């Protein structure tokens, strides 16, 4: 029987950007600090997490043996060595933690082989969160096979839902690459759009502070409307677009520049990179 989210002992393997975002979201939801630990080799990151009142270690195995949940939050390139180290330390233990991997691209098949190096592979859920988890506004895709119990799925859903407003289980593992292409990497696309809005405004004379306030609030306002309005994004766009008005002029310019194809190509590039990261680790 998996514990509830409030009671679960959660350890993060890797304490970088995405781990910090999820931890920040969990703490904001009053998950007890005493239940969260992090292993992180870099002392700068480790000290930041310690200053937040979390238990930290440079050793990946220090907390994982007693954890209910181990969140694999290292870069895909180091995942294999880390998983093997953990798998060997758990050995033949009857009770290994539930593993939640956030590593882009690394497939269940590989994770099971690496974690199973010391004996039986633990139950593993793959998730693809995004950094807005830090402010409780994350979007996460999840995938698990039949080796993960209903309880373990529910615990994972509760954990990701505590930092995400959209928590979507996908029906096939390969769809997680598509999730990575739209929502895992997605915050960067919107940040880039805002960067470009600001630089355009500044180049036309608006002070940078004013341009930043106007562009960022426009992004937030549009986002709030997207999640709260019953209308589809296309209709929301039409509502802003007066016939032959200013928005129309901008939209025509986007269309002429091939925005739709550009976005499609960019998402496909991210999806392809996610597939490649998985393949490179499978081949190495």
Ligand X SMILES: NC(=O)C1=CN([C@@H]2O[C@H](COP(=O)(O)OP(=O)(O)OC[C@H]3O[C@@H](n4cnc5c(N)ncnc54)[C@H](OP(=O)(O)O)[C@@H]3O)[C@@H](O)[C@H]2O)C=CC1
Per CB under 6 A, residues contacting ligand X are 13-19, 39-42, 45, 60, 73-76, 78, 82, 102-104, 128-131, 184
Give the span between the Cα atoms of 149 and 172, in whole angstroms. 17
- Smallest gap from Cβ 249 to ligand X, in A, equals 34
In the sheet with 138-143, reading across from the earlier edge strand, the strands are 55-57, 36-39, 10-13, 69-72, 98-101, 124-128, 138-143, 164-169
Contact 9, 34 (CB under 8 A): no
Instruction: Identify the residue among 141, 184, 278, 281 touching ligand A1CAB (CB under 6 A).
Output: 184
Question: For residues 90-99, b (16+ Cβ closer than 10 Å) or e, as one string?
Answer: beeeeebbbb
Nearest distance, CB of residue 128 and ligand A1CAB, angstroms: 7
CB 83 within 8 A of CB 114: yes
Asked whether position 180 contacts ligand A1CAB by CB under 6 A, the answer is: yes
C-alpha–C-alpha distance, residues 87 and 96, integer Å: 9
25 is in an annotated binding site: no
Q: Partners of 62 in the beta sheet?
A: none
> Does the annotation list 14 as a binding residue?
yes
State which residue, 73 or 96, has the beta carbon closest to ligand X.
Answer: 73
Among positions 12, 185, 271, 281, the unique one binding ligand A1CAB when judged by CB under 6 A = 185
CB of 29 to ligand X, least distance (A): 19
Identify residues 93-112 at the interface with ligand A1CAB (CB under 6 A).
104
Q: Is 256 annotated as a binding residue?
A: no
By the criterion CB under 6 A, which residues form the site for ligand A1CAB? 104, 180, 184-185
């Amino acid at each position: 029987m998996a514990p509830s989210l409030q009671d679960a002992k959660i350890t993060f393997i890797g304490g970088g950007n995405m781990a910090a975002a999820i931890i920040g979201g969990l703490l904001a939801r009053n998950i007890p600090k005493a239940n969260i630990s992090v292993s992180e080799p870099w002392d700068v990151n480790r000290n930041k997490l310690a200053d937040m009142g979390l238990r930290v270690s440079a050793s990946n195995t220090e907390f994982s043996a007693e954890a209910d949940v181990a969140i694999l939050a290292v870069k895909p390139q180091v995942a294999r060595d880390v998983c093997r180290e953990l798998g060997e330390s758990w050995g033949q233990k009857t009770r290994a933690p539930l593993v939640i991997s956030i590593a882009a691209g690394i497939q269940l098949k590989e994770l099971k082989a690496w974690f199973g190096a010391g004996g039986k592979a633990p139950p593993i859920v793959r998730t693809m969160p995004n950094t807005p988890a830090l402010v409780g506004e994350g979007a996460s895709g999840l995938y698990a096979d039949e080796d993960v119990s209903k309880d373990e799925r529910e615990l994972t859903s509760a954990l990701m839902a505590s930092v995400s407003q959209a928590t979507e289980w996908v029906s096939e593992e390969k769809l997680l690459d598509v999730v990575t292409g739209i929502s895992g990497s997605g915050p960067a696309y919107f940040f880039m759009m805002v960067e470009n809005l600001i630089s355009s405004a500044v180049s036309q004379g608006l002070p940078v502070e004013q341009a930043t306030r106007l562009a960022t609030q426009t992004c937030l306002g549009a986002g709030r409307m997207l999640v709260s309005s019953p209308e589809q994004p296309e209709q929301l766009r039409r509502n802003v677009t007066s016939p032959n008005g200013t928005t129309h002029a901008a939209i025509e310019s986007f269309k002429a520049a091939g925005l739709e194809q550009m976005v499609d190509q960019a998402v496909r590039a991210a999806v392809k990179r996610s597939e490649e990261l998985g393949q490179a680790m499978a081949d190495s």
